[in-house]
Structure 1
Amino acid sequence: MPFAGDRKHRRVLRSTPLLPQNLHNNDDEYAAAPSESGFSGASFSGAVFNLSTTIVGAGIMALPATLKQLGMIPGLIVIILVGILTESSVDMILRFSRASKSKSYAALVGDAFGGAGRTLLQLGIVVNNVGLLVVYMIIIGDVLSGTWSEGEHHLGVMQEWFGQQWWTTRSVLLLLTTLLVFSPLISFKRVDSLRYTSALSVGLAVVFVVMTGVVTVIKLMNGSIRMPRLQPPELGDGASFLKLFTTVPVLVTAYICHHNVHPIANELKDPSQMKSIVRTSIMVCSSVYVATSFFGFLLFGDDTQDDVLASFNGDLGIGHYSWFINDVVRISYCLHLMLVFPVVFFSLRLNVDGLLFPATHANAKPKPRLPIAFDNPRFLFLTACLMGFVFLGANFVPSIWDAFQFTGATATVSVGFIFPAAVALKDTHGVATKNDTRLSCLMIVLALSSSIMAIYTDIYAAFFSLPTTN
């Protein structure tokens, strides 16, 4: 006899018309399960905003520093090339998912490499997403409550406005942000429910670019900006050469979105639009990245810091408006990260659920479990545990950029390039072309070589001081 969970699942499905097809696939723990009746599928624009929000995160703040390391012209070229390579890797995922009828990235890798490959990918996504979310919260804390740098305390926005009060401390502000902003947003069971906050998030990223551009133009007009370095710096020794590889994790992390491609595609009215959605999103984000990198490096030159947001904490050289521009830039980016957070959290929760509660086939014992969105206790438990873990990490992790580079050179590179290329080379269903094979080999070689060099550079930097490239 069917058990109560099965009957409940069928009742919900009957009462929720026009749900995405993957709702009926009990073999895939990633099946989207919106509980709102009348949902007929996500729109093209909503999917573009959600995917663009997935892409544009903390990585945007480190892109001007990549131009500092690589030079203006090579840096901009590399940013565009990584965007093109990302689009190619996502296109591979979509095409091979259709061939294998996989409704999730993990199911695709599992189809090619079995349970071990599936688990390895899920672990990579979890490491990548947890690292990103911790970085987001740390930067939010830095913006609101300030941070310490080389023994000096830089005041946050709230401390500048209201002074140092008990409620302007880092832990209290992060707790309030968690309760008042994150908790409502991460409680949605459909990623499409975040389309409006995602649109606002993309708009706030544009605000940052516009404000940076305005300041740069003003300083160009009054002649207070020097010509930036267009070519890579002279590499006087091995350490200077190694420092170039610190840009690799930042560039890869800036475009990572593979973990949210399937959740977004599964909710579309017309899943065939996903390829166009990916291309549109990457074009939008590449434009934002190129503009941010160009104006940020042009504005601060060789004084550009690893986190360009930290440069907006002093006199910008535009008179009495400097303080206003500083606050607008910092607040807009802080709000942007708050709205990016739930989109990244969505795929984190799905992958942790897949690791802890793997789905079983319909004819297996025990009976197939309900999708997480239909199981409220499991949904609330995972949401609370993951949010608590990220909150603790944001309060106790001392350095964000070391962790940022490490996760970018390991988990992010694997999720973004190595796994898609490996699936194409495996070609379980015989759909790969010669171009797929060549591109896959190129991606694996580039990913492995750059990751090894980046990790070696991080280890080298832990024992020896890498020189500043001027």
Structure 2
Amino acid sequence: MSINAGEVIRVATDHGAAEEDMASETTPILGMRAEPLRAKGASFTSSVFNLMNAIMGSGILGLAYAMAHTGIVGFCVLLLLVSSLAAYSINLLLKLCDQTGINSYEGLGGRALQKPGEVLVAVTILVQNIGAMSSYMFILKTELPAAITSFLNPETSGGAWYEDGRTLLILVTVFVVLPLALLPRIGFLGYSSSLAFLFMLFFTVVVVVNKWAIPCPLPSNVTHIQISNATESDCRPKLLVISSKSAYTIPTMSFSFLCHTAVLPIYSELDRPSRKRMQNVTNVSISLSSLLYLISALFGYLTFYGHVDTQLLLGYDTYLPRDVLVMAVRLAILLAVLLTLPLIHFPARKAILLLFCGDGSFSWVFHIISTFLILALVMVLAIFVPDIRNVFGVVGSTTSTCLLFVFPGMFYLRINNQPLRSLQSVGPVCLLVFGLFVGLLSLSVIVVTWAQNP
């Protein structure tokens, strides 16, 4: 999969929304205000898998490159910082849900900034998720045919239907994405999310195993990057690195924890919902995701050291050509991306529901029509636009940052109406400032990348 650090920033994964719990944006279904006759919701385990699927995506492929340009200690510090801030921002959203009885991100925007805030959040979610879905479908279109044909006889001539990326994209969209996207509740995706997690776990195991399959120093006669005078010093891990490329790390890691539009729908459908129980779901999901991120990045870095590629799998292609495990893990990552698409679809459809049906009432007719329209739009973008990721890269760097850091901090300050100098405002203000910093940094990274590679 040809994904560089800039693309990791652009494909930020933010997913999920529940439809049957949308009868009213202010329906008090959470915490102590839960309805007494509420149907049994999603289990704790299913909710963890759904949130982990919302967190983890193709961004895991770029984290070894991030470690190579920050060092092991620097990477660990940043990983702890970003994961903690992501958990804290989710905690703010959950607090606001309990305080207001509102169970949607758009509803919190409306409470904080009136109708303009509600529309702002809906448009932000819609743009972010359509961009993410288009980017993921673009990846499937370009990489899925190669992943399939890698298992076949290399002497086989081309021209088969499975070598056409557009044909494969249409087939997997119609027979996999569409049925899952038509499900009315996000809790139903627990099984597909567990499969996506297993694929990510498989990727991590393969990265660990292949640490001892590639010698160090790297053999220069097989690499696509010319390595001269390779010495044992190339095999010494660096604990702390500061360079211009280190600027890629914070946006890349930040967007690797983007899951905030999935949190409230998952909370709404959680069995025996309470803020503490949902926070436990969040903590488990972020902790397990961080562990997989750390292990895959560490062993990927310790395999290639300073020569790690912006997309980890490219290095294995070079040194382990036609390796069965590498070919299998590439297919597994693509399947994980495929199973993530329905989760991204949920909040996009919910945003359209709010924009065009302000009452938020559930309708099967609108549900089906909007599902078809969104999937048709993103499929057309992925098939006919040469490089849609560049367009959504700039927009995504701002919308992702807003959803991840800026909106939670801003909404908390507005709804609680706390003075900025009060102790309760310190955390939200820091989150808001950090979000603005990450947004400007990621936008700068994309612009510099464009300038270097026009």
Shift in Å at residue 298 of structure 1?
A: 1.9
Counterpart of 2:222 in structure 1 is: none
Are the structure 2 counterparts of residues 410 and 24 from structure 1 closer, same or farther at C-alpha, using a change threshold of 3 Å? closer
One of 180, 189, 197 as aligned partner of 2:192: 197
One-letter amino acid of the structure 2 residue matched with residue 231 of structure 1 = L
Structure 2 residue identity aligned to 1:327: M
After superposition, the Cα gap between the structure-2 partners of 1:265 and 1:229, relative to the gap in structure 1 and judged at 3 Å, is: same
Describe the SS at the equivalent of 1:229.
coil
Among residues 257, 278, 283, which one is paired with 2:282 in the alignment? 278
- Tell me the SS of whatever aligns to 1:113: helix
1:231 paired residue number:
240
Distance, in Å, in 2 between the alignment partners of 1:311 and 1:407 is: 30
Whether contact under 8 Å (1:205, 1:332) holds in the other structure is yes
Task: Tell me if structure 1 keeps the 8 A contact 2:63–2:253.
Answer: yes
Q: How does 1:415-434 map to 2 (within 5 A)?
A: 415-428=403-416, 434=422
Deviation for aligned residue 1:408: 4.4
What is the distance in 2 between the residues matched to 1:390 and 1:66?
A: 29
Query: Is the counterpart of residue 353 in structure 1 residue 357 in structure 2?
Result: no
Q: Does 1:378 align with 2:356?
A: no
- Label 1:209 to 1:27 Cα distance change in 2 as closer, same or farther (>3 A): closer
Change (3 A) 1:465 1:196: closer
1:158 aligned partner: 149
Q: What residue is the counterpart of 1:206 in the other structure?
A: 201
Amino acid in structure 2 at the alignment position of 1:256: L
* Alpha-carbon offset, residue 271 of structure 1: 1.0
The Cα of 1:401 is off from its aligned counterpart by 6.0
The 5 Å alignment of 1:17-166 reads: 23=21, 25-27=23-25, 40-146=40-146, 156-158=147-149, 161=152, 163-166=157-160
TM-score normalised according to structure 2 size:
0.82
Question: Pick from 423, 437, 440: which aligns with 1:449?
Answer: 437
Instruction: Give the % identical residues.
Output: 24
For residues 350-395 of structure 1, the C-alpha deviation after alignment (integer angstroms, 9 at most, x for no partner) is 1122122222xxxxxxxxx631xxx222111110110011112222
Verify the 8 A CA contact 1:250 1:405 in the aligned structure 2: no
Deviations along 1:197-250, one digit per CA (max 9) or x if unpaired, are 1111111100000011100144479998822333214x4xxxx3xx43333332
Corresponding residue for 1:9? none
Task: Call closer, same or farther: CA 1:28–1:99 in 2, change over 3 Å.
Answer: closer
Instruction: Measure how far apart 1:430 and its partner are.
Output: 6.4
SS in 1 for 2:319: coil
Cα 1:434–1:211 change in 2 (3 A) is: farther
What is aligned with 2:266? 264
Aligned length: 410
- Does structure 1 retain, via aligned residues, the 8 Å contact 2:206–2:326? no
**Which moved further from structure 2: 162-171 or 43-52?**
162-171
Summarize the Cα distance change of 1:52–1:464 in structure 2 as closer, same or farther, 3 Å threshold: closer
Structure 1 residue 67 displacement after superposition:
1.4
Instruction: Tell me, yes or no, if the aligned pair for 2:214 and 2:319 is still in contact at 8 Å.
Output: no
Confirm or deny: 8 A CA contact 2:58 2:333 kept in the other structure.
no
Q: Relative to structure 1, is the Cα distance of residues 429 and 459 closer, same or farther in structure 2, using a 3 angstrom cutoff?
A: closer
* AA of the residue aligned to 1:165: G
Q: Is the 8 A contact 1:228 1:298 kept in 2?
A: yes
Is this contact kept in 2: 1:56–1:285, CA < 8 A?
yes
8 Å Cα contact 1:92/1:420 also seen in 2: yes
Of the structure 1 ranges 423-432 and 46-55, higher mean CA displacement relative to structure 2 is found in 423-432
Return the match for 1:413 from 376, 381, 401.
401
Contact 2:177 2:338 in 1 (8 A): yes
Classify 1:289/1:219 alpha carbon distance in 2 versus 1 (closer, same or farther; 3 Å): same
1:178 positional shift: 0.8
Q: TM-score, normalised by structure 1?
A: 0.79
- The 1:123–1:29 alpha-carbon spacing in structure 2 relative to 1, beyond 3 Å, is farther
Unaligned regions of 5+ residues in structure 2, if any? 1-17, 31-37, 220-233
Find the aligned partners of 1:218 and 1:74 in 2 and give their Cα distance: 27
Aligned twin of 1:253: 255
Report deviation, 1:348. Answer: 1.6
- Tell me which residue corresponds to 2:296: 292
Which consecutive unaligned segments of at least 5 residues does structure 1 have?
Answer: 1-19, 33-37, 147-155, 360-368
Choose between structure 1 and 2 for higher RCO, CA contacts under 8 A separated by at least 6 residues: 2
Q: Which deviates the most, 52-61 or 207-216?
A: 52-61
- Cα distance in structure 2, aligned partners of 1:394 and 1:388: 10
Q: Which moved more, 1:191-200 or 1:244-253?
A: 244-253
Give a deviation string over 1:424-450, Cα, whole Å, max 9, x none.
222337699955411122122222123
Q: Could you tell me whether the CA contact under 8 Å between 1:186 and 1:345 is conserved in 2?
A: yes
SS at 2:204 equivalent? helix
Task: Check whether the contact 2:217–2:235 (CA below 8 A) recurs between aligned residues.
Answer: no
CA contact (8 A) 2:27 2:103 kept: no
**Counterparts of 1:310 and 1:426 in 2: how far apart (Å)?**
46
Distance 1:193 1:433 in 2: 44
Q: Distance in 1 between matches of 2:28 and 2:338?
A: 24
Alignment RMSD, CA only? 3.0
Alpha-carbon contact 1:96-1:431 (below 8 Å) kept: no
One-letter identity of the residue aligned with 2:262: N
Conserved 8 A contact 1:112-1:427: yes
Q: Distance in 1 between matches of 2:343 and 2:395?
A: 19
Distance in 1 separating the partners of 2:312 and 2:235: 18
Give, in whole Å, the separation in 1 of the partners of 2:20 and 2:112. Answer: 20
**1:183 and 2:185 aligned:** no
Q: Secondary structure at the match of 2:237?
A: coil
Q: Which moved more, 1:203-212 or 1:245-254?
A: 245-254
